Chains A and B, each alone.
Chain A
């Protein structure tokens, strides 16, 4: 005979939790919000998830079984005060227990706000300001000096006239990079100027000129524990890349040297929080070089879940101050293949978000989708 207590669903620490996630754009240049929500849902989380978005056309807003509520946010460039003001408005409708910022440009404002938001009961698991600044793309070569982390030679430029000096300082081609986003390979001075102007318009100065090293690129999604240790880390190699350089397929790899490299970087910075390492194995010397260190989980983070490490759910627990032991070894050979799908949504729903800057009770689950279908037939 089954006792009554066993029949009842056990209440869990997760039941009344409210998690807010940013960055729900998908498509050609997908943001990490949707895969992060999917991994959290796949961990059995049935509570409320709030999407914090910048544009009513971020497709993840309308995806099935994702967000329950959505609020438009001010752009990070408007400063921490604007974010606080908006969150104070949102708190009138709902509590937020955990907030996961997922975009590079958001991390610093949220690092600045971490203590203030804690007083609102909003928990995050982010690096310190010092850690964040150490991995800034414009200071990457300092990691080489401070911690012996190999990085490609780079110079910073702020004026077009400096471009003409580049061939005297490094061989072409070079990589032309923005501080936050975008990277282009340039073979000539004219190309460098073209990309300089493009990146400068979109993301501002300085522009990073990085030595181009032929080699194979690897990416690692991980979470650092803030003491030099790693909660989880999954390395992959992109096997299908779009014209914009985004991975549309990748496979989990296992190279002890690559694992050691990642450990060394995370240990050196005592990194606290999520991260993505972009690493190059150079053909000329077979050594690994750090190309970039991004202060958030990547858009391909579901591959980590598929490989046995649900990093987004670990992040939620860490934000709440729960102890998370190091995750089990990842499964080598797991792949992701990305696909885009058209989402059908009434224009009135998009209109409601556009006019009111918020949407409520929008989560479509398999159950309410079936009920909706029965009512309409």
Chain B
């Protein structure tokens, strides 16, 4: 039996409530994130780029761009820790899951 089933696109599968309760239907784990975390996750689900996400947060919240960049990096690191953030790379036309290297 093939037990190496490809996982679903990590954060795309998350159910995110406005209150910051985040449920991973694949693993059963749940998480709490703040308002900015909800914004970033929703932007990631919409497949916005890092630049677009930082611009979006800076535009909608009273915060400096440098601070948003730092918060974004920190949030992404946390998502990686939980196995929720992996970058999809295409090699020879085949989509592969690979953790984004810093």
Which chain A residues have a beta carbon within 8 Å of chain B's beta carbons?
147-150, 216, 218, 236-237, 239, 250-251, 253-257, 260-261, 264, 286-288, 332-333
6 new A-B contacts at CB < 8 Å, known A253-B28, A256-B8, A287-B4: A147-B1, A251-B28, A260-B5, A286-B7, A333-B23, A333-B25
Task: Please tell me if the beta carbons of A253 and B15 are within 8 angstroms of each other in the complex.
Answer: no
Task: Please tell me if the beta carbons of A287 and B25 are within 8 angstroms of each other in the complex.
Answer: no
Q: Does B19 contact A (CB under 8 A)?
A: no
Q: Choose from B4, B15, B26, B30 the contact partner of A255 (Cβ within 8 Å).
A: B26
Contact A333:B1 (CB < 8 A) given known A216-B27, A253-B26, A253-B28: no
Query: Smallest distance from the beta carbon of A268 to chain B beta carbons, Å?
Result: 9
Give chain B interface residues in 1-55, CB to chain A under 8 Å: 1, 3-5, 7-8, 15, 23, 25-30
Task: Please tell me if the beta carbons of A333 and B3 are within 8 angstroms of each other in the complex.
Answer: no
CB contacts (< 8 Å) of B23 on chain A: these are 251, 333
Contact A257:B28 (CB < 8 A) given known A333-B15, A333-B23: no
Task: Please tell me if the beta carbons of B1 and A253 are within 8 angstroms of each other in the complex.
Answer: no
Q: Choose from A150, A237, A287 the contact partner of B27 (Cβ within 8 Å).
A: A237
CB contacts (< 8 Å) of A149 on chain B: these are 1
CB contacts (< 8 Å) of B8 on chain A: these are 255-256
Cα distance, A288 to B4, chains bound together (Å): 9
Q: Choose from A150, A251, A257, A332 the contact partner of B5 (Cβ within 8 Å).
A: A257
Cα distance, A127 to B5, chains bound together (Å): 30
Q: List 21 A-B contacts (CB under 8 A).
A: A147-B1, A150-B1, A236-B28, A237-B27, A237-B28, A237-B29, A239-B30, A251-B23, A253-B25, A253-B26, A253-B28, A254-B25, A255-B8, A255-B26, A255-B27, A256-B5, A261-B1, A264-B1, A286-B7, A287-B4, A288-B3
Task: Please tell me if the beta carbons of B5 and A218 are within 8 angstroms of each other in the complex.
Answer: no
Cβ-closest chain B residue relative to A264? B1
CB contacts (< 8 Å) of B15 on chain A: these are 333
Cα distance, A287 to B1, chains bound together (Å): 11
Cα distance, A314 to B8, chains bound together (Å): 31
